[in-house]
């Protein structure tokens, strides 16, 4: 496994945390508020990037999972997550700590991990392939500069959103507050990773000309919007069930 950049960048992670907080059940909201009071002024959005800011060699593999290329995007724990060192196991492990009767400091730390990792697993290239380091070695031109495919999906597509981040926020706020789709119900991080992988396996995903062209950008934007909405709804659903 290889270390990756942060999924969705600072803005995407904060956005998912802020929107998920609006969907908490009364009981979950109260308990999360109590834990966040250990750091006065903290919100789910403000802690959403903590796991990247404090990343170490020990927990770096918790941010992603590698699935076999052309393997049908089927997650197998013994093969893809040895000793629990992947984002799928990390979500389950930290959610269990959050829902247990442990010390508040430990549960707050687990909350920070859960908020971050649920967002991570919804970025397609955080469930990609080891041979190109989740798109990090795929060079291309995008938005007037040289970059790589992972960075495009992590940050560039959000930062360069048509109309700006404010418009994206309003759009997602409206969509995330709507009826929760069947696909968003139930905490199953393995299935979320498989969804991300299936996006990466689509024929169009790796730009043939190594250039971010308008048709690719438009298709990618639709997927980014959908994955951000699902990450928001699933994070809120997970926190509600763990804390209810």
What average pLDDT does the segment 217-233 reach? 96
* Residue-wise pLDDT tens digits, 185-210: 666 999 999 999 999 999 999 999 99
In sequence order, the 6+-apart residues with CB closer than 8 A to the CB of 135 are 125, 128, 148, 149, 150, 152, 153, 200
Q: What is the pTM of this model?
A: 0.94
Task: Name the 3-class secondary structure at 233.
Answer: helix
What average pLDDT does the segment 139-146 reach? 96
Q: Is residue 74 pLDDT above 60, yes or no?
A: yes
What average pLDDT does the segment 99-128 reach? 97
**How many C-beta atoms surround the C-beta of residue 143 within 10 A?**
12
* Residue-wise pLDDT tens digits, 163-181: 999 999 999 988 877 665 5
**How many C-beta atoms surround the C-beta of residue 114 within 10 A?**
26
Complete domains list, the chain, with CATH: 9-243 (1.10.575.10)
* Residue-wise pLDDT tens digits, 37-56: 999 999 999 999 999 999 99
**pLDDT tier at 4, thresholds 50, 70, 90:** very low
For position 185, what pLDDT does the model report?
Answer: 67
* Residue-wise pLDDT tens digits, 77-94: 999 999 999 999 999 999
What average pLDDT does the segment 117-131 reach? 97
H or E element that contains 142 = strand 139-142
What average pLDDT does the segment 128-154 reach? 96
Phi first, then psi: what are they for 73, rounded to 5°? 55, 40
Q: Is residue 213 pLDDT above 70, yes or no?
A: yes
**pLDDT tier at 6, thresholds 50, 70, 90:** low
Distance CA 18, CA 228 (A): 12
**pLDDT cut 90: percent of the chain above it:** 89
Contact 158, 165 (CB under 8 A): yes
**pLDDT tier at 182, thresholds 50, 70, 90:** low
């Amino acid at each position: 496994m290889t270390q990756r950049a942060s999924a969705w960048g600072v803005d995407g992670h904060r956005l998912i945390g802020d929107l998920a907080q609006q969907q908490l059940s009364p009981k979950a909201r109260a308990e999360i508020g109590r834990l966040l009071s250990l750091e006065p002024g903290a919100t789910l959005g403000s802690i959403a990037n903590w796991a990247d800011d404090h990343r170490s060699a020990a927990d770096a593999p918790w941010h992603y999972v590698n699935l076999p290329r052309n393997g049908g995007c089927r997650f197998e724990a013994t093969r893809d997550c040895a000793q629990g060192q992947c984002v799928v196991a990390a979500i389950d492990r930290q959610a269990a700590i959050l829902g247990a009767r442990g010390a508040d400091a430990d549960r707050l730390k687990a909350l920070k991990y859960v908020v971050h990792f649920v967002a991570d697993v919804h970025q397609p290239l955080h469930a990609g392939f080891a041979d190109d380091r989740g798109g990090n070695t795929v060079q291309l031109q995008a938005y007037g500069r040289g970059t790589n495919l992972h960075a495009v999906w992590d940050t560039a597509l959000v930062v360069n959103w048509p109309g700006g981040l404010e418009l994206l926020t309003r759009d997602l706020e409206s969509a995330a507050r709507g009826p929760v789709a069947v696909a968003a119900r139930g905490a199953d991080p393995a299935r979320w990773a498989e969804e991300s992988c299936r996006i990466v396996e689509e024929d169009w995903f790796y730009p043939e000309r190594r250039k971010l062209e308008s048709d690719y950008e438009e298709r990618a934007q639709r997927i980014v919007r959908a994955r951000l909405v699902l990450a928001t709804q699933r994070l809120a659903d997970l926190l509600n069930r763990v804390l209810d």
